Chain A
Amino acid sequence: MASYLVAFGLELARFLRKKNKFIRPLIFLFSFAGLVAQTAYIFNRAQETQLPPLLSSSHDWLIVFSWLLVSIFLFINLIDEQLSIGLFLFPLVLVLVISSYFVDSVTNPLVEPAIRSWALLHASLLVLGGVGIALCFVISAMYLIQHRRLKQKQNFSEGFHLPSLAKLSRLNRGALMISAPLLTIGMGIGIGLGVYVRKGAQSISFYDPVIIIYEIVWAVMMISVIFILRTKQLNQKHIAQLTIWTGGLLLLTFIGIQILTNVRVLNFDSWHSHYSVPLQEIQGESAERINS
Chain B
Amino acid sequence: MNLQVVYCNHQTAGLDIREKLAFSSKEQLDSAYSVLKKSYPETEMVVISTCNRVELYTATQESESGPSHQDLAKFFSEFHQVPVSDFFEDFLERTGPDAVRHLFQVASSLDSMVLGEPQIVNQVKEAYQRATDNSLCGPLTHALFQQAIRVSARVRTETQLSEGRVSIASVAVGTFGKGIFERFDNKTVLIIGAGEMAEETLIYLKDEGVDQIVVVNRSLENAQKLATKIGGEARPYQDLEDCMAKADVIVSTTGSNQPIVDVPCFQRVLEKSGNKTFFILDLGAPRDIDSAVGEINDNIFLYDIDDLEATCEKNRHARQKEVEKALAIIDEETDRFMHGIYHRATGPIIKQLREQWHEVREQEVEKLFGRLSHLDEKDQELIERSIEQIVNKLLHPPLEVLRQEAREGTPHGLLDALKQLFHIRD
Contacts and interface: CB of A to CB of B under 8 A. Distances in A.
A168 to B, nearest CB: 9
Interface stretch (B34-42, B106-114, B310-318, B385-393): B310-318
A167 interface: yes
A165 interface: yes
B-side interface size class: 20 to 34
Interface string A163-184: 1111100100000000000000
Contacts of B182: 163-164, 166-167, 170
Contact-residue bracket for chain A:
20 to 34
B373 interface: no
Contact of A155 (B301, B303, B314): B314
Given A151-B298, A235-B297, A236-B299, A164 B164 contact: no
A233 interface: yes
Contacts of A153: 176, 303, 307, 310-311
Given A164-B178, A165-B180, A166-B180, A155 B315 contact: yes
B307 A150 contact: no
Interface in A135-171: 146-147, 149-151, 153-155, 158, 162-167, 170
Contacts of A158: 160, 163-164
A199 interface: no
A150 B299 contact: no
A233 B275 contact: yes
Contact of B180 (A150, A170, A234, A235): A150
A155 B180 CA distance: 13
Interface string B303-326: 100010011001100000000000
A154 B311 CA distance: 7
Which of B183, B294, B298, B307 has the most chain A CB within a 10 Å cutoff?
B298
Contacts, number: 61
B274 interface: yes
Nearest to B274: A233
A164 B181 contact: yes
Contacts of B314: 155
A264 interface: no
Interface in B289-304: 294, 297-299, 301, 303
B179 A21 contact: no
B157 A147 contact: no
A235 B307 contact: no
Contacts of A236: 277, 298-299
22 contacts: A19-B158, A19-B159, A19-B160, A21-B157, A146-B179, A147-B298, A149-B179, A153-B303, A153-B307, A153-B310, A155-B311, A164-B179, A164-B180, A164-B181, A165-B277, A166-B182, A166-B277, A233-B275, A234-B275, A235-B275, A235-B299, A237-B298
